[in-house]
Chains A and B, each alone.
Chain A
Amino acid sequence: MESILAYLLAGISYGGQLALIAIGYTMVYGILRLINFAHSDVFMVAGLFVIYLQTAVGFYVAIPAAIILTVVLAFSIEKLAYKPLRSAPRMSVMISAIGVSYLIQNVAMYITGGLPKVYPDIPLFTESVEIFGASTKRVTLLTPVLVIVLVVALVLLINKTKIGMAMRASSVDFETARLMGIKINNVISMTFIIGAVLAAIGSMLYFSNYNSISPTSGAMPGLKAFVAAVFGGIGSIPGAVVGAFIIGICENLLKMVGLTEFSDAFTFALLIFILVVKPTGLFGEKQYDKV
């Protein structure tokens, strides 16, 4: 019984980390109808920022600085690689995103020399705690709390503020949003900034469970988060969060019953299943055709 709870908690925690990545996918898709393939690499780079900054300036500066640098990176990607293609066919932007993804991985390869870089112990996250008779890192307990706080803040931002209203309006109709005096480019930038902040925080939580980062370390969590976003209904924030928790919990329960090698397969089977049975995902009932 204790071990079930321990696996469950680990699953919730892992799901929460995926949720923080998945929100970035789903929000960018919601506004640009773009699958931002570079998002998982931004997530990985956030980890590298922590590694390099930590040795240079210590944790207290490294953590906020890594978040800011991640925001700058995501903001610049949008401005340099996506914005010039605003009126190009959607496929061109997707291809640009794939290009950015490989570019980031290659640059990371060059800078790290291709060797895995040791991820530092952030004491607040990695100290060992006892829970349900099992010992785990504190990050396992912190993640669900932090994810809930961040998601609530995001939902309030989107539903209660002016910029949030502009984001919702722009997600269905750019042209009419412009007619209201909304600067679409600011709304898009804001979307990328929010996605980057959450990915950077998610990165710190996620990599605290690992020893090192390599340039492709973003790929698997990125893919899982993307599946979570599609499973929940791409474009929907609650969908992405619920999808991520479901995947996180299911994967860990599979590990508990000894099916560790099937946990990845399960997630992708889930993706195929939902695409066949309910292509709009759990929460994606209403799709507004974007004009």
Chain B
Amino acid sequence: MVKENAKTLLEINNLQIRFGGIKAVDGLSLSVKEGEIVTLIGSNGAGKSTTMKAISGMVKPFAGEIIFGSDNITGQAPNVIVSKGITMVPEGRRVFPNLTVLENLKIGAYLRYDNLTNDIDYVYSLFPRLRERSWQLAGTLSGGEQQMLAVGRALMAKPKLIMMDEPSLGLAPIVVAEIFEIIKEINRQGITVVLNEQNANMALKIGDRGYVFETGRISMSGKCSDLANDPKVQEAYLGKSK
């Protein structure tokens, strides 16, 4: 839900990330306003995941800056970034298989010292199936349930911004639809969302604005509705021929 005069929440200027000689991200700039759902699309290896990892502090940028609110968070440790209000749902869900569902939620709130009861209840109200499996080890959940748990876990830190890396990967369409409904619901609660989504069709439907990644740079950006109607995007990412 974007307000008329929404402020910029996240701003990336001229970000560069290198792995040895590979320029995974090469002079990339983008911005995210409070309350938006911003989608990142682009082919495999274009640098979307790497950009998200830089925002969350998991990889150190080679150059450029990442500003969150009024703080420069470039190159900060992940615990600092989580405490500022950015969490991530990593690619492949990465729930802790040897922890229970409830513990996976609690560990999402690792840096918090206040009472978690209400927040756990909130996550369980979003995903009733998780409540039933509260005491089960996360490794025994289905892929869809693990994805729900990964989203719930990311909510537990009470983030201002939540990033999701390919949340629909490998899931049945009905489960994907359910997760996208939840993404909208989370956003209605005022949380800003950055979504990296392979399924560009869905991504452009749910998002307010989008960025198209190409070899470590932004090749196009704009309102999702405009991008969806752009012939180049349609041909390259939406599987429509001219």
Contacts and interface: CB of A to CB of B under 8 A. Distances in A.
Interface of A: 162, 165-166, 168-169, 171-173, 175-183, 286, 288
Contact of A169 (B77, B82, B107): B107
B216 interface: no
Given A165-B103, A180-B110, A181-B83, A173 B58 contact: no
Given A175-B58, A179-B88, A169 B78 contact: no
A288 B83 CA distance: 29
B58 A165 contact: no
Which interface class (under 10, 10 to 19, 20 to 34, 35 or more) fits B?
20 to 34
Interface of A (DSSP majority class): helix
26 contacts: A165-B106, A165-B107, A166-B110, A168-B98, A169-B98, A169-B99, A172-B96, A172-B98, A173-B94, A175-B94, A176-B90, A176-B94, A178-B78, A178-B79, A179-B56, A179-B58, A179-B78, A179-B82, A179-B87, A179-B90, A180-B153, A180-B157, A181-B111, A181-B157, A182-B107, A183-B79
B108 interface: yes
B231 interface: no
Interface in B87-126: 87-88, 90, 94, 96-99, 103, 106-108, 110-111
Interface of B: 56, 58, 77-79, 82-83, 87-88, 90, 94, 96-99, 103, 106-108, 110-111, 139, 153, 157
A178 B76 CA distance: 12
B110 A181 contact: yes
B78 A168 contact: no
A141 to B, nearest CB: 36
B44 to A, nearest CB: 20
Nearest to A186: B79
A234 to B, nearest CB: 15
Contacts of A288: 97-98, 139
Contacts of B111: 181
A95 B95 CA distance: 33
Contacts of B96: 168-169, 172-173, 176-177
Contacts of A179: 56, 58, 78, 82, 87-88, 90, 94
B207 to A, nearest CB: 23
Contacts of B82: 179-181
Contacts of B83: 181
A273 B106 CA distance: 41
B121 to A, nearest CB: 20
A183 B79 CA distance: 7
B99 A162 contact: no
* 9 shortest interchain CB distances as A-B pairs: A181-B82, A181-B79, A181-B111, A176-B94, A169-B96, A178-B78, A180-B110, A181-B110, A180-B107
A280 to B, nearest CB: 15
Contacts of B107: 165-166, 169, 180, 182
A171 B94 CA distance: 13
B99 A165 contact: yes
A182 B94 CA distance: 15
A173 B111 CA distance: 18
Nearest to B108: A180
Contacts of A169: 96, 98-99, 107
A250 B131 CA distance: 47
A17 to B, nearest CB: 29
Contacts of B79: 178, 181-183
Q: Interface centre among B58, B108, B110, B139, by most A CB within 10 Å?
A: B110
A235 B177 CA distance: 40
Contacts of B98: 168-169, 171-172, 286, 288
A172 to B, nearest CB: 6
B110 A182 contact: yes
